[in-house]
Structure 1
């Protein structure tokens, strides 16, 4: 007997899922999916159920309105709708599905709620929408798919979801635990066996919430709901459905969309309408602004200067990109406050040199909380406005706004308007937060001017000689092959060196090297394990070399070529909002992480060359973090050593080891250097012993002697930890805050990490701010003096300038002077500057 097919629509679950991907057209989107199912004759019966939403506030109210619209749309399609007072759609659907199974029907549940995966069996599947390249697509979850994805039976997912939602345990970890222990009851009974302190703590601390989630995930199937056997979908009804023109009441007129939070987005493509918008943007107004474009041409301008509406102006006909550029610059000159997101990305479309401060909300949010991973408009909306908005990725996928304007105009308009709207509403909130946290000066004097310097550096780029890069790559490949053969020769076997499993077996089973750490997947071959063995076993040194060589080859020899532009230069991206300490980072490509363990690694710098008629001038600070430590700790002996311009490591060795300065050995100096820099990073005796290959007792004695030598440093570091415990954050000399939540952890390792952060963040943060100030000053001086030389690279404490030959002396003098005077410390800032025909030569 052929089983009849039935689709049950979880109206509430679908709305909650699609709402955030298609906030303004979610009803239409769901209706289109349902029509497609009917049109393609995927079902004999169809019904829908609705329940309560799991949301509060503005979003919940809007969802309720959308739910009524969806019910209307389904009624028009002659689809029966089931509701029960106070009932969840989950329970109504499960009751319907149970009775359909009894009547020998195969059921597909159309939902956005993955909780339904628990109900999957031989005759019940779940259809969940996902975003594909061409819009919404349905993913069909069968019992086999659930098992393949989770490694568990569908009914076991209740316990996975309970751990995930109740204890915050990641899904992969939760699945692994359930696969290993079989049930929550067994897991809790044997939780003391768990290796992970974090998981064990979460299980203990959130046991009540886990049980509560487990109870809430129990599905009721006792509602007496049945489908009308006579209401199968007829051919005539399919034809009728396809002829229907659905446009429920409340949908906006063309060119105007009502957002999920009630504000209106208006698209403008006519010049006269654009002029009216600009006229409304009166002098002195506060404006949220966002630009998008490509090749320095504006493709969209979003403006917001009220809580009710936002405009998106798109060049078309007489409304040109040039006109929008001119009017945008005029607004920036006249407005009282301009707030944007990611100002640097918009500078290609404007002629701005920092003469008027444009407030970058992303950077402000980063200063206020530097531990977050993202500062996009949806993050700011959630954090400061209690507003839930779909992210750029949810709306556009990997497309830019300019690309999306061609492919999905509505989504692109939604995205850029959301940026301007959030900027407008968050601007003053963030300004107040900067004031409360005493970071206004840091923001206005360092971070905002830096935006323009980084943009200038990105625009200039750095030249790469393709032939040298190819030759470098060829040399690397030869060295890789040679090293590979030496490893095979010393191990007596050919194997995959890149396979940790195979490598572990060769080293610790076949060669029986000491120190093997067995894990669930085999022996650990992590760098820290191998580095301990390297001094005694030449094959380990070869393996470490092999890893460095292959990384150099893939990341730099092969990787850099992809970034070389038509002008033979790499225009990388420099990021201000990535690191918690305030350091600048670089991506596409990352030029701040070149391996320098071996000479061949350092030689990658030879491929970076100045353009004709120029040379490179490279300058970096000498021991800037130690100098910052001396200044901030006010330790008289450390300050005195630097003021005498003596070898700080030799002096430390002399004091710590109680030997005359002239009798300090190279080994003693090396050990003292490790202690000097280790103190900056809050190094422990264990860390120092590992680094110097000495006993922990010896390492403890080194550190104790260091603090006896520089008592002011010890007092200072202790004070930093105490203050961070009291305030919850560490503070740099320039007011940069770094929250240290780990200090309140009940986990000893986490607290120890927090103490190290509290000690090193003020020092690292201050050093980062000094190089930023230096960069701003150098960039400004070059332009102010009318020089053509430009900064092309910043790497930690180093600045690289492409200097015109005729400007060389002036540039070198300017560079050193500006870097030295970037901050006034109790000790001098020393700068080493060199000139060369390549970055390697100048370094």
Structure 2
């Protein structure tokens, strides 16, 4: 029989520190639970055990504490973020069918040791999973240790058998106790022998085998006199340390291995995992809290919905209904079938006329999960859905913007909603899923609507997010025309320049090597050319952008390498990448995502048009290949300093408001205040630094980061920030107030009611807490800016349609909107675009948008 036994506290600790903080929307921390269960699944997969035991420490003192009052005395208690995860993890493991083992007076290590002894004596196999090297002393005779760790948030383990211990330490596994007795252990406060470290302890044990032999023959040992004196002076500590460091193998626990064969998970496991929002793990463990489907041949339970085929005309029940829930079945972007509900009934139809009639009837309020594909499908047919009252995906996003998924079944588990069971649900997997979704939506919609109302986010949902979905669907359908031939030529030119640079780099280094290999590049720069470098790791010297930026003036080759990287990235990511996604119509149809970011910003994928480089002239060249169709132009408008204007408003800062109302150059005015000079004496460098301070303040920048950004000392940067906050005292007060309010509420909020929950604010870890404070300062500003651009998009699209213009909104990039317009409409569209953007919101400072036009994106940006 094979037993897998886990050191529960050790694995939990590794999981907690190896994975960034995760929380539920209520603020319950879950990263350690998630990491523990992920490690457990990986360990089971790798070792295929017959039985699993999970050992935990108890709070009560053990025999070691009784023997030595200083044992682990210096250890701090668990951080609160970890402590609050311990009991939920234990409960969950129990409901998942595992047996936990605790033993008063003994540590988890001793439980591991006892299982190891029993397996060795019975000829069974024992796999110990721990993050603590102390357990390596137990290896041998069928016992192995998997030393657990996490790397980049992923669990991994190193397997130790007797041979690996001999190879790494040069001793037998049990002799590790002897080494620890001499060297001590600062983490456990085990004293050891004063003056003898790991190297000396290892050498003594390799030569003389154990502590007992050392002291029995101390006077005759062939060792340095100084070592002999150290051993003699610390004999008591050495013997005590051996006693404390030796893992016991006689803990009074149940050692019948068959009692540890895992049971099937009980229903409470799924419910508890849902409350902890561990939905990805639920899927991996095949745990679901879906409405139960009746067994084949069994009558449906009371309250089960019978699926009715609706054909020919809308059923009376639907025509009389005030509202319904929809679950379309899509194929190739078209609606192939529709599941829809009426009170107490669930219908299915493939009748195109019925589908269109139902979707177009504005008198019926409709709920749908993810409305954008529905808009897209109907727009292709020259129609639009009417009466859309709720999108449960968008509602769920507003309620929990940090979630990594908004599938209906996941939301049902998260919000403890159970829909009616179904008598039948279609033959195809997709149709069965859509049927269950439709049956679930009424209860889910009711719950989410109540939550949205309670949090004051109804207007945010109904006036911004829902109408925006329609605008985004239209933008995706329109796409953006590109000149593929010119992109290809540009790519070839970039490739040629990169090859020329590659040859120059090789000449400078004196030999050929792979510039794209960090190890080979590191060897060329730091070994061959002898440039200053950081600490060498197992994989070589770091050659990341920050390192190379700091070496720009050390050698010409560094600048060449940075330029080479820019060229190759432009070629592969943008030229090659863009050509792959050009549609048959010669246009790129990016996908715009409403539920991706935590601040409310729209993201763009396949391709990410919001990431088209703008900071370098070469990167900006890419915009030349985004073009208007023949006879049309691109009208481009962006907000002027939108985030600073939002900051002036939310902080109610008198000086900043005055500057914007008087249409001053805010950066010049800031420079005059920070550098204590009249505005007419502000130099371009002063203005540039003031601009960095202005925008840095918005993002909660500190003196260290600012000093790097503007190339001044940390002391100078600190002074700039202090002078800035002294002048803009309203901003200073806002920064303090908004963090205090977020700590009290548990979230930061925009002026439109958009929230971001910040469990980091309660962290005991300084860096984590500081991150939360930076986000608390920034999110109300960045989130409000995102909301304002969304409102502007809706207003612009509505106005274009209302006036019967052919022009269409085709792209949004951060604070910039692009409309493609016939040349004869261009001047009017530019004025319309500016007007709607500037009037999107009324703040205490004017919103300013500037429009320009051209036949390419490059030209339209001026």
Deviations 1:379-424 (A, max 9, x none): 21221126699xxxxxxxxxxxxxxx9xx94311222123323322
Whether 1:348 and 2:376 are equivalent positions in the alignment is yes
1:795 is displaced (CA, Å) by 0.3
1:745 is displaced (CA, Å) by 0.8
For 2:751 and 2:622, how far apart are their aligned partners in 1? Answer: 35
Whether 1:719 and 2:719 are equivalent positions in the alignment is no
Q: Which moved more, 1:526-535 or 1:663-672?
A: 526-535
Secondary structure in structure 2 of the residue aligned to 1:619: strand
Structure 1's 794 and 90: CA in aligned 2 closer, same or farther, altered over 3 A?
closer
For 2:542 and 2:253, how far apart are their aligned partners in 1? Answer: 41
For 1:358 and 1:499, how far apart are their aligned partners in 2? Answer: 54
Q: Counterpart of 1:368? A: 399
Secondary structure in structure 1 of the residue aligned to 2:257: coil
Deviations 1:614-641 (A, max 9, x none): 0011100111111111111111111111
Q: Counterpart of 2:629? A: 611
> With structure 1 as the length reference, what TM-score do the two structures score?
0.67
Secondary structure in structure 2 of the residue aligned to 1:350: helix
Whether 1:470 and 2:499 are equivalent positions in the alignment is no
Q: Counterpart of 1:581? A: 599
- 8 Å contact from structure 2 (residues 633, 820) kept in 1: yes
Structure 1's 176 and 222: CA in aligned 2 closer, same or farther, altered over 3 A?
closer
For 2:159 and 2:627, how far apart are their aligned partners in 1? Answer: 51
Q: How does 1:48-447 map to 2 (within 5 A)?
A: 172-173=155-156, 220-221=257-258, 251-252=295-296, 273-274=310-311, 278-295=315-332, 297-305=334-342, 310-313=346-349, 315=350, 320-330=351-361, 333-336=362-365, 338-350=366-378, 356-385=387-416, 409-447=427-465
> With structure 2 as the length reference, what TM-score do the two structures score?
0.66
Secondary structure in structure 2 of the residue aligned to 1:518: coil
1:694 is displaced (CA, Å) by 1.9
Deviations 1:587-631 (A, max 9, x none): 011000122332121111111111111001110011111111111
Deviations 1:472-510 (A, max 9, x none): 211221122122222222222322122122222222222
Structure 1's 257 and 570: CA in aligned 2 closer, same or farther, altered over 3 A?
farther
Number of equivalent positions: 626
1:542 is displaced (CA, Å) by 2.2
- 8 Å contact from structure 1 (residues 459, 571) kept in 2: yes
Deviations 1:709-759 (A, max 9, x none): 211111111111110011011111111111111101111100010010000
The match for 1:556 among 531, 550, 574 is 574
- 8 Å contact from structure 1 (residues 288, 422) kept in 2: no
For 1:223 and 1:828, how far apart are their aligned partners in 2? Answer: 69
For 2:822 and 2:95, how far apart are their aligned partners in 1? Answer: 76
For 1:594 and 1:215, how far apart are their aligned partners in 2? Answer: 65
Q: How does 1:434-833 map to 2 (within 5 A)?
A: 434-833=452-851
For 2:95 and 2:702, how far apart are their aligned partners in 1? Answer: 58
Structure 1's 360 and 87: CA in aligned 2 closer, same or farther, altered over 3 A?
closer
Secondary structure in structure 2 of the residue aligned to 1:826: coil
For 1:496 and 1:520, how far apart are their aligned partners in 2? Answer: 19
Structure 1's 699 and 88: CA in aligned 2 closer, same or farther, altered over 3 A?
closer
Q: Counterpart of 2:133? A: none
Structure 1's 170 and 693: CA in aligned 2 closer, same or farther, altered over 3 A?
closer
Structure 1's 155 and 252: CA in aligned 2 closer, same or farther, altered over 3 A?
farther
- 8 Å contact from structure 1 (residues 573, 586) kept in 2: yes
1:276 is displaced (CA, Å) by 8.4
For 1:625 and 1:359, how far apart are their aligned partners in 2? Answer: 30
For 2:306 and 2:141, how far apart are their aligned partners in 1? Answer: 49
- 8 Å contact from structure 2 (residues 321, 343) kept in 1: no
For 1:650 and 1:461, how far apart are their aligned partners in 2? Answer: 39
Q: Counterpart of 1:35? A: none
- 8 Å contact from structure 2 (residues 498, 567) kept in 1: yes
- Superposition RMSD in Å: 4.1
Secondary structure in structure 2 of the residue aligned to 1:420: helix
- 8 Å contact from structure 1 (residues 265, 312) kept in 2: no
1:340 is displaced (CA, Å) by 1.1
Secondary structure in structure 1 of the residue aligned to 2:609: coil
Q: Counterpart of 1:109? A: none
Secondary structure in structure 1 of the residue aligned to 2:439: helix
For 1:172 and 1:215, how far apart are their aligned partners in 2? Answer: 32
Secondary structure in structure 2 of the residue aligned to 1:523: coil
Deviations 1:123-172 (A, max 9, x none): 99xxxxxxxxxxxxxxxxxxxxxxxxxxx999768875xx89xxx99552
For 1:761 and 1:477, how far apart are their aligned partners in 2? Answer: 40
For 1:458 and 1:578, how far apart are their aligned partners in 2? Answer: 17
Q: Which moved more, 1:680-689 or 1:373-382?
A: 373-382
Secondary structure in structure 1 of the residue aligned to 2:794: helix
1:218 is displaced (CA, Å) by 8.4
For 2:570 and 2:142, how far apart are their aligned partners in 1? Answer: 45
Structure 1's 177 and 779: CA in aligned 2 closer, same or farther, altered over 3 A?
farther
For 1:719 and 1:758, how far apart are their aligned partners in 2? Answer: 10
Structure 1's 488 and 430: CA in aligned 2 closer, same or farther, altered over 3 A?
same
Secondary structure in structure 1 of the residue aligned to 2:614: coil
For 1:631 and 1:646, how far apart are their aligned partners in 2? Answer: 16
- 8 Å contact from structure 2 (residues 418, 440) kept in 1: no
1:540 is displaced (CA, Å) by 2.3
1:175 is displaced (CA, Å) by 5.5
Structure 1's 463 and 266: CA in aligned 2 closer, same or farther, altered over 3 A?
farther
Structure 1's 169 and 414: CA in aligned 2 closer, same or farther, altered over 3 A?
farther
Structure 1's 306 and 357: CA in aligned 2 closer, same or farther, altered over 3 A?
closer
Structure 1's 409 and 587: CA in aligned 2 closer, same or farther, altered over 3 A?
farther
- 8 Å contact from structure 1 (residues 291, 300) kept in 2: yes
For 1:388 and 1:744, how far apart are their aligned partners in 2? Answer: 36
Structure 1's 655 and 88: CA in aligned 2 closer, same or farther, altered over 3 A?
closer
- 8 Å contact from structure 1 (residues 446, 772) kept in 2: yes
Structure 1's 471 and 88: CA in aligned 2 closer, same or farther, altered over 3 A?
closer
Structure 1's 89 and 457: CA in aligned 2 closer, same or farther, altered over 3 A?
closer
Secondary structure in structure 2 of the residue aligned to 1:618: strand
Secondary structure in structure 2 of the residue aligned to 1:596: coil
- 8 Å contact from structure 1 (residues 496, 502) kept in 2: yes
- 8 Å contact from structure 1 (residues 639, 827) kept in 2: yes
Structure 1's 413 and 676: CA in aligned 2 closer, same or farther, altered over 3 A?
same
1:328 is displaced (CA, Å) by 3.5
Deviations 1:754-805 (A, max 9, x none): 0100000000011111111111111110000000000111000000110111
